[in-house]
């Protein structure tokens, strides 16, 4: 399990998480996928059918970093 800077396990019960980072230094592709531990580790269902973000779908910030927001419910414009 991943933990935040305070040592709390990342969980939708703890609110939303915003992570800004440089892209991974890899020679292939990268991907982030959210799984639902309460559903046996399957993909977390959502109304947008959005299950992963990768190097071809992520929008870069003006400085080249990438920002990811993880939350339990999407806003209308997400």
CA–CA separation, 23 vs 41, rounded Å? 26
Per-domain residue ranges of the chain: 12-70
Render pLDDT for 11-46 as a digit per residue (tens, 0 to 9): 777 678 888 888 878 888 888 887 777 777 788 777
Helix, strand, coil tally for the chain in percent (to 5): 10, 30, 65
pLDDT of res. 63: 94
H/E element, 22: none
pLDDT of residue 50 exceeding 90? no
Q: How confident is the model at residue 6 (pLDDT cuts 50, 70, 90)?
A: confident
pTM above 0.75, yes or no: no
């Amino acid at each position: 399990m991943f933990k935040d800077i305070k040592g709390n396990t990342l969980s939708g019960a703890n609110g939303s998480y915003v992570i800004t980072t440089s892209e991974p230094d890899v020679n292939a592709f990268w991907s982030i996928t959210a799984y639902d531990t309460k559903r046996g580790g399957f993909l977390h269902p959502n109304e947008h059918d959005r299950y992963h973000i990768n190097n071809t779908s992520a929008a870069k910030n003006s400085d080249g970093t990438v920002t990811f927001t993880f939350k339990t419910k999407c806003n209308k414009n997400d």
